[in-house]
């Protein structure tokens, strides 16, 4: 990555070092190249066949990683990324998994080329491990990458990369989420790229030093081998592809994939109106006890075929866990570009990035400098950056009649982290991030409601684990996991519903389970609506001490709400570390998606259907949508018209009809 000063300011425009420039910096490794004539000589059929095969290989990498991993976060929730890069680290193809994580891998590959070719060297059969977000390869230290150079004919032909969230890599708190942390030294220590596989052999000394930091070393070791295996699967298939079509043809296809992505995004940007859009995303609390609100400010401009993301005005980095590095900033932008702007364009980020400039000041909340705390980066500043980018890109698309159907409001504006650790029902130690919040509500579109519990746009194939799988893997028992009414933002088109889960510790041989919660968005909603749409719900977590669950079960009754549980209900702050006993219940309610358009423009019968299906409460139907439902569940059209007229007058600061009638009565 190159930083270019902006004249007259402390800001920088950041760009990736292109492969053509990097080629002149790298010494000791021959990089395979092709000419423009080679690219031009490709016939259409060969290009499409090879292109689709390259895309399929990234999916095969994901399948291999899932089959070898033992972590529910990977096997059931798809919280990982896979990709193929050219010899200089430009991303040729990205898999449909966690694009936030994968978007940072090219940074790490370029860093490795510039800093590891002389010592210890990059040779055939080598792989490099990295979990240093200041280098790239992930957004926080729990995002561990394995980067694998592929040599063909003695030349470095390309790279593959696999990255996945690890459930624990050390630090003060289990799961490495140190909610009291002030800087990076409270957290897992980052490791810049280090050779972990040499000439095809896993280096035991490096692996031992890596696993020593984890509370669950066997699980982390299995995930390490899964990432190595995913790279091996990719290399085997890429070699067969090169053997069949020749290195010149395959590399020419890679070049054209990026050129085609650039050309198509350039054409789309040109067809959109020039303009400037702004957004401010907030985080309420950077660590336990922090009551401040921290903001990320984005001004996005589109001129011709270029997009500029300018984060001038963003707050300075804070003492806490919620900062992110430039890798996190970029990881917040790329998923939005891929899903909203480039949903109909093959995902070749190396080409798409050529049309994008990023302006940011080092030392800020989403471009922090070492040793700022970044343990929560992926679901804090990076996620907030994504919210701001979503709002701006969606607003740009909505301004175009041709492209407005691709616009979508922010979905699930934050991550409701629930981390559990202790001794499982088999007597073994465990630590896990409960991924139920992966079922966030999607944002509304210009012509459709958001998808209820549909996930989030950074992980196209993200999902929640089966409740039974979580109960099998960890010592918990669900009381419920369900969608929650009124959690989607109101609008002419409603935001998708979020959901909740409620569970009790169960079947652990010890009487307590360690709980770390870290969930911003409790003071301020973080999934705003578009074009007059309302934001989604705020986060809401409750710990019930001394609940009556055992008594309820003995009476053959399964509780369905918090009021039935008895005990002491404690509303949770944004960040807390505590213990759960067998008599406690934990309830977590994550966010839905923002709405689109004025709720008073929603068709009344759609509101009635939502009330019937428990997506919207009767109270919200009246207060937010101005729709009055009668005792039979039908719309009272006369009262609805009166109610909506009254709400519009209230908005305008005018007296309501009832107030006017009272004034007339008193005057008489």
**pLDDT, tens only, 440-488:** 999 999 999 999 999 887 888 888 999 999 999 999 999 999 999 999 9
The string of pLDDT tens digits covering residues 52-73 is: 999 999 999 999 999 999 999 9
pLDDT tens-digit profile of 333-354? 999 999 999 999 999 999 999 9
User: Which helix (H) or strand (E) element contains residue 514?
Assistant: strand 512-518
pLDDT of residue 165: 95
Write out pLDDT tens, residues 525-556: 999 999 999 999 999 999 999 999 999 999 99
Do 535 and 435 meet the contact criterion of CB atoms below 8 Å apart? no
- CB 464, CB 439: distance < 8 Å: yes
pLDDT score at 662: 59
Whether residue 342 is preceded by a cis peptide bond, meaning omega within 30 degrees of 0, is no
Q: Residue 258: helix, strand or coil by DSSP?
A: helix
pLDDT at 665: 47
CA contacts within 13 A on the Cβ side of 632: 3
Q: Which residues pair with 505 in a beta bridge?
A: 476
Q: What is the pLDDT of residue 664?
A: 42
Q: Which helix (H) or strand (E) holds 250?
A: helix 247-271
User: Nearest 10 degrees: CA dihedral of 27, 32, 37, 40?
Assistant: -130
Say how far apart CA 293 and CA 501 lie, in whole Å.
27
Q: Is the peptide bond before 106 cis (omega within 30 degrees of 0)?
A: no
Secondary structure class of 359 (helix, strand, coil): strand
In angstroms, the CA 16 to CA 296 distance is: 23
Query: Residue 427: its pLDDT value, please?
Result: 95
pLDDT of residue 458: 83
pLDDT number for residue 237: 98
What's the rounded Cα separation, in Å, for the pair 561 and 569?
A: 12
Q: Is residue 411 a contact partner of residue 527, using CB atoms and an 8 Å limit?
A: yes
Higher-confidence residue of 24 and 180: namely 180
pLDDT at 2 over 60: no
Mean pLDDT score of the chain: 93
281 within 8 A of 295, measured Cβ to Cβ: yes
Q: Would you say residue 9 has pLDDT above 80?
A: no
Please count the other Cβ atoms lying within 10 Å of the Cβ belonging to residue 341.
Answer: 23
- Are the C-beta atoms of residues 4 and 13 closer than 8 Å to each other? yes
pLDDT of 656 reads 62
Structural contact between residues 366 and 324, judged by C-beta atoms closer than 8 angstroms: yes
Question: pLDDT at residue 405 above 80?
Answer: yes
Please list, in sequence order, all residues whose beta carbon lies within 8 angstroms of the beta carbon of residue 63, skipping any fewer than 6 positions away.
none
- CA gap 625, 609 in Å, rounded: 13
CA distance 98 to 118: 32
24 or 195, higher pLDDT: 195
Kindly list the domain boundaries of the chain, sorted by start residue.
Answer: 603-667
**230-251: per-residue pLDDT in tens?**
999 999 999 999 999 999 999 9
């Amino acid at each position: 990555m190159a930083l270019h000063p902006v004249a007259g300011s402390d800001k920088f425009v950041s760009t990736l070092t292109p492969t053509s420039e990097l080629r002149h910096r790298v010494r000791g490794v021959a990089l395979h190249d092709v000419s423009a004539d080679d690219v031009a000589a490709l016939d259409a059929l060969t290009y499409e066949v090879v292109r689709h095969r390259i895309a399929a290989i990234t999916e095969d990498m994901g399948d291999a990683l899932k089959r070898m991993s033992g972590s529910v976060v990977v096997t059931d929730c798809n919280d990982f990324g896979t990709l193929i890069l050219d010899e200089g680290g430009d991303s040729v193809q990205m898999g449909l998994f966690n694009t936030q994580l994968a978007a940072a891998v090219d940074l790490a590959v370029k860093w490795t080329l510039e800093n590891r070719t002389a010592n210890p060297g990059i040779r055939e059969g080598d792989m490099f491990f990295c979990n240093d977000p200041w280098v790239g390869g992930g957004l926080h230290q729990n995002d561990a990458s394995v980067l694998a150079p592929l040599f063909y004919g003695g030349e470095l032909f390309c790279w593959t990369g696999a990255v996945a969230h690890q459930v624990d890599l050390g630090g003060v708190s289990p799961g490495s989420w140190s909610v009291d942390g002030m800087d990076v030294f409270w957290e897992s220590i980052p490791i810049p790229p280090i050779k972990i596989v040499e000439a095809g052999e896993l280096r035991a000394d490096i692996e031992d030093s890596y696993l020593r930091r984890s509370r669950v070393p066997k699980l982390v070791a299995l995930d390490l081998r899964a990432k190595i295996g995913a790279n091996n699967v990719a290399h085997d298939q890429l070699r067969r592809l090169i053997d069949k079509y020749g290195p010149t043809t395959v590399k020419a296809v890679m070049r054209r994939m990026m050129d085609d992505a650039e050309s198509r995004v350039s054409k789309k940007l040109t067809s959109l109106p020039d303009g400037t859009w702004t957004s401010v995303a907030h985080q309420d609390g950077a660590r336990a006890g922090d009551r401040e609100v921290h903001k990320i400010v984005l001004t996005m401009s589109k001129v011709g075929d270029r997009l500029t993301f300018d984060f001038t005005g963003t707050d300075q980095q804070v003492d806490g866990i919620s900062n992110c590095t430039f890798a996190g900033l970029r990881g917040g932008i790329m998923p939005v570009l891929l899903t909203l702007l480039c949903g109909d364009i093959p995902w070749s980020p190396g080409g798409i990035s050529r049309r994008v400039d990023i302006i940011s000041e080092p030392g800020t909340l989403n471009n922090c400098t070492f040793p700022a705390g970044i343990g929560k980066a992926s679901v804090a500043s990076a996620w907030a950056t994504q919210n701001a980018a979503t709002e701006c890109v969606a607003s740009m698309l909505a301004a175009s009649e041709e492209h407005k159907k691709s616009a979508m409001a922010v979905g699930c504006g934050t991550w409701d982290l629930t981390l559990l650790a202790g001794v499982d029902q088999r007597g073994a130690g465990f630590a896990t991030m409960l991924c139920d919040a992966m079922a966030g509500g999607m944002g509304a579109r210009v012509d459709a409601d958001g998808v209820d519990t549909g996930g989030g746009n950074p992980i196209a194939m993200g999902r929640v684990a089966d409740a039974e799988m979580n109960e099998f893997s960890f010592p918990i028992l669900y009381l419920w996991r369900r969608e929650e009414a009124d959690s989607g933002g109101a609008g002419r088109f409603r935001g998708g519903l979020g959901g909740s889960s409620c569970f009790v510790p169960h079947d652990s041989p010890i009487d307590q389970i360690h709980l770390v919660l870290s969930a911003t968005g409790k003071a301020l909603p973080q999934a705003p609506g578009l074009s007059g749409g309302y934001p989604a719900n705020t986060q809401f977590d409750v710990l019930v001490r001394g609940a009556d669950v055992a008594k309820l079960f003995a009476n053959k009754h399964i509780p369905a709400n918090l009021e039935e549980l008895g005990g002491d209900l404690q509303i949770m702050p944004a960040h807390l570390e505590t213990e759960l006993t067998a008599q406690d219940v934990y309830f977590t309610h994550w966010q839905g998606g923002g709405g689109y358009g004025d709720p008073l423009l929603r068709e009344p019968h759609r509101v009635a259907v939502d009330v019937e299906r428990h997506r919207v409460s009767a109270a919200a139907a009246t207060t937010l949508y101005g729709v009055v439902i009668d005792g039979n569940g039908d719309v009272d059209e006369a009262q609805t018209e009166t109610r909506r007229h009254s709400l519009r007058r209230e908005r305008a600061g005018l007296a309501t009809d009832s107030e006017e009638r009272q004034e007339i009565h008193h005057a008489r």
